[in-house]
Structure 1
Amino acid sequence: MQEKVDVILKEVEEAKANTQEELEQFRLKFISKKSVVGDLFAELKNVPNDQKKAFGMKVNEVKQAAQAKFKALIDNLETSIQGGASDHEDLTLPSAGHTLGSMHPLNYIRSQIIEIFERIGFNVADGPEIEDDFHNFTALNFPENHPAREMQDTFFIEKNPDILLRTHTSNVQVRLMQKQKPPIRSIMPGRVYRNEAISARAHCVFHQVEGLYIDKNVSFVDLKQTLYHFAKEMFGKDTKVRFRPSYFPFTEPSAEIDISCQICKGDGCQLCKYTGWVEIAGSGMVDPNVLANCGIDNEEYTGFAFGMGIERISQLKFRVNDLRLYTENDVRFLKQFSTLH
């Protein structure tokens, strides 16, 4: 048995590896779980008790020698490969071209939206993505039993049910109203989270831009004119806009905004479900309860708010029919937007 150990140790010491294949053969024979060294450890149970200690120490010596040899072979092989490459470099070959990246379509649309609203006096505000219940729900007039509070819609932090991933950027509106006195005229672009199954039409991570205008004598007419201006700047002067009555806990009255379909031009297609209209945003006058929750005198001030999905706007601009493409970083998809600037 001792002679067998000595033979294996000699093989380890004399081993050479000039290629990756030979290196792998060494690893399989001496390093892997099914190696000859592993077999030696398995035979330890058959060695007489008075010889076990000496035999175990010898086998362990072989194991350590194999590992050290393997590392040395790796270093030698890497050195030889690098040296060989430098000896055969052709300095007359042209250099590899540099491929420039392109702006992500969502970043492009986000920048366009910000630019449109900045031109009419809105500034940009930001806030945390990890939020508490008050700023995400309670301050916005969500009742305790509102469906949006249920687990199927919101990602709650398990150890603290009061902490969650924000479901909209309205939390930034609340924080802004708490720390700033009117007039307030801001938009809030950002990433939001919903506990939804990922598909071509829905995703658990997406992007919103919300807007808020608080001042004396703000009316629904101001809201309509602001969103009319946005729609025509973003989609073109011929775009038609309509408002439909709706319901949101934080606005009253509330309305959803539709524009004429950009693909069929109002004639009817699969995207607009053959209605000729596509929803782009929700809006309404800020509920007086929300103003009071944020410390603003709802007898003196009024305001409006709106929110839209950046993915939806991008879908209409670029006719992207699968939301998953925005987050998969597929170069084939992103290269299509190389002309954006």
Structure 2
Amino acid sequence: QFYEAQNDQKVKCTCCNHYCLINPSKSGICGVRQNQNGKLILLVHSKPSAVHVDPIEKKPLYHFYPGTKVYSIGSIGCNFSCDFCQNHSLSMERIPDIEDFNKQNITLTPEQAVDYCVKYKIPSIAFTYNEPTIFTEYALDICRLAKPLGIHCVFKTNGFMSKEVRNALKDYIQGINIDLKCFSDETYKKIMGGKLEPIKENIQYFFENGVVTEVTTLIVPKMNDSPKEIREIAQFLAHISKEIPWHLSAFHPDYKMQDRDRTPDQTLLMAFKIAKEEGLVNVYMGNTHIESGDIICSCGELIVKRNQWQTIKVHIQCPKCGQKPYGIMQ
């Protein structure tokens, strides 16, 4: 669906902001979108590599039906190449032999995915683990079946999708968590193999189009942990809305970035303090023992009580002043 035919049987992929020009029999940067005789084929359609039932908070989505379960679907490949990727066993995997790949992975058609949710009363489906933008056609096929049945669909993404994809997604997904990995275009180019501006645009786009939008930043020592950069991110988010949830996540050494220490608690607390100074209301810390998952009303009353990913209490609105928090509560 997301490609344009070119001369000499080449194709231009329009799925993400790389807009790869792909020669016959070759794949794009992500490794799963292949030019077969002038047509772009999604190799992983209906062949996920990871399927689990998770708490919705694990995405993380803290303002989207708190305390509910989500059917999580992921595949292999990615349009980024982050040195610190914490899902590299999936994201950096490629398909040397399509027959072996198909044998090793389960088949999960869109119909089967939706039927599972109906059978086990799971209210939401998440496209997650690796970058779902690269298998958008598969995700949309599921979304189109899920929406009429009242099953919600959400994306956990690096936010580098194209305008074509975001326009298609906005009518079918109800929630999204976008990684804003740093606030430096140079770092995006050098470490992730991407660009900053499209991600900023997509965060604003989904928020303004009524999709419950949350943002995650993995705080990596010596990469994006300066007070200046953290403040720039906080100011950018606050300009969109002071209610937009921001998850500050602790880094641990992984993949190619084994030379860094874990993010110290004091760095997370510093970032949390800066976010609050810039007026952000819903700020959380993840991958740490510091508890910060509760949703607190501006009047100080507790709206949602959590213990890590376990939601203990949910109010649709503040029991004291009646104010409704951002997002969709049960």
Please indicate the TM-score interval, normalised by the length of the shorter structure.
Answer: under 0.3
Greater Rg, structure 1 or structure 2? 1
More helix per residue: 1 or 2?
A: 1
TM-score normalised by the chain length of structure 1: 0.24
